[in-house]
Amino acid sequence: MLDVSKHIHALFADAPSTTEFKKLRKRIVRQTREVIEQYGMLKKSESGRRARWLVCLSGGKDSYTLLAVLHELQWRGLLPVDILACNLDQGQPGFPTTVLPEFLEKMGVAHRIEYQDTYSIVIDKIPKGQTFCALCSRLRRGNLYRVAREEGCSAVVLGHHRDDILETFFMNLFHGGRLATMPPKLLNEEGDLIVLRPLAHVSELDCSKFAKALNYPIIPCDLCGSQDGLQRKQVKRILDEWENNSPGRRQIMFRSLMNARPSHLLDSTLFDFKALDRNQKNGPI
C-alpha cells in the first residue's frame, strides 16, 4: 500500500500498522478489484464522461468497508469513477442523524443525506408480528434509484458481501423454491441503472474486522434487527453451524454459485433435455 501520511485518504488515516491488518486490507482490496474486473463493472460511458457511482451508506460495517475500499482503489488509480456516498435516513425513532454527516464531512467524502420517512409507511402497512424487510427494502431501493437519477449516477453500489449472497441463495432454496441469489451486477427493471455489489467475494468476518480496526462509527439497524425469527437469521444460524463443524464450508458453497451446470439440474428452460440423444456430444459429465 502507498501509505504516505500526507497523501493517504482520511478514511485510512488511523489505520493500524500491524501486519495482520495490512494483510486484511490487502485481501479485501484484492477481492474487490477482482469482482469489479470479473463482472465488468467499469464500462466506458457512451457520452465519454467519467462515470459516477452512488455508494449507499447505511452506517453498518459492510457499507463502511465498501466506501473505504472504493476510495482506496480510486486513490490508487484503479477505479476511474466519481464516488458519491448516500445515506437514506428512513425516519426510524432514535436514529442518530448526525453521525454519518459528521463522519463524511470529517473524511472529506462527497455525500448526500436523503430523508424519507419510510419507517412510518412500513409500520402502518405491515401487520404486527410480520417481518418488515421486504417492504422496507423496496421503499429504500426506490428512493435510492431516484437519488441516483437526480445526481446523474449510472450505478447504485451496495455493500452486500459473500455471506449475504450465500444466505440469500439458501433463503430462496428453502423458502422460495428457486436457485437464485443477489448477483454482483444487475440491471434495474427500468433499464437505466446498474446495481453493483463489489464486495461479493469478501467475507462478513473480514468486513467486521476491517470496520472495527478503523473504529468507524457503526449504526445498528433497529428496525429489522429487533425482530426475532427472521428467515435470514435462521439461515445464518444453519450456515454458522456448518462452518463450525467444517471450517471453510461457506467458501466451498459460495464457489458453487460460480460453477453452475445446467445439464445437471432440472430446468428445461436452461438445458434442452428433449433434444438430448445418446449420439450427441454433451461435454464432460
**Which tens digit of pLDDT belongs to each residue from 228-259?**
447 888 899 999 999 999 999 999 999 999 99
Amino acid 128: pLDDT: 72
pLDDT of residue 35: 98
Ranking 1-5, 11-15, 124-128, 182-186 by mean pLDDT, the lowest is 1-5
| Rama region for 263: left / alpha / beta (φ>0; ψ in -120 to 50; rest) | alpha
Q: Classify strands 155-157 and 194-196 as parallel, antiparallel or unpaired.
A: parallel
What pLDDT does residue 190 have? 94
24's grid cell: 486484511
pLDDT value of position 94:
80
Between strands 185-187 and 111-115, the pairing is unpaired
**Cell, residue 227:** 425482530
The amino acid at residue 267 is: D
Question: pLDDT band at 9, cuts 50/70/90?
Answer: confident
Q: CATH top-level class for 10-258?
A: alpha beta
pLDDT digits (tens, 9 = 90+) for 10-49: 899 889 999 999 999 999 999 999 999 999 999 876 667 8
The reported pLDDT for the residue numbered 8 is 73
Neighbouring residues of 34: CB distance < 8 A, sequence distance ≥ 6: 201
- Classify residue 22 as left (phi > 0), alpha (psi -120 to 50) or beta: alpha
123 Cβ partners below 8 Å, 6+ apart? 132
Indicate if the pLDDT at residue 4 is higher than 80.
no
**14/62: higher pLDDT:** 62
For the chain, domain boundaries: 10-258
- Which grid coordinates are listed for 84? 458519491
> pLDDT at residue 285 above 90?
no
The answer, as to whether pTM is greater than 0.85, is: yes
Quick one: pLDDT band at residue 224, thresholds 50, 70, 90?
A: low
What confidence score (pLDDT) does residue 133 get? 72
Q: What is the pLDDT of residue 1?
A: 45
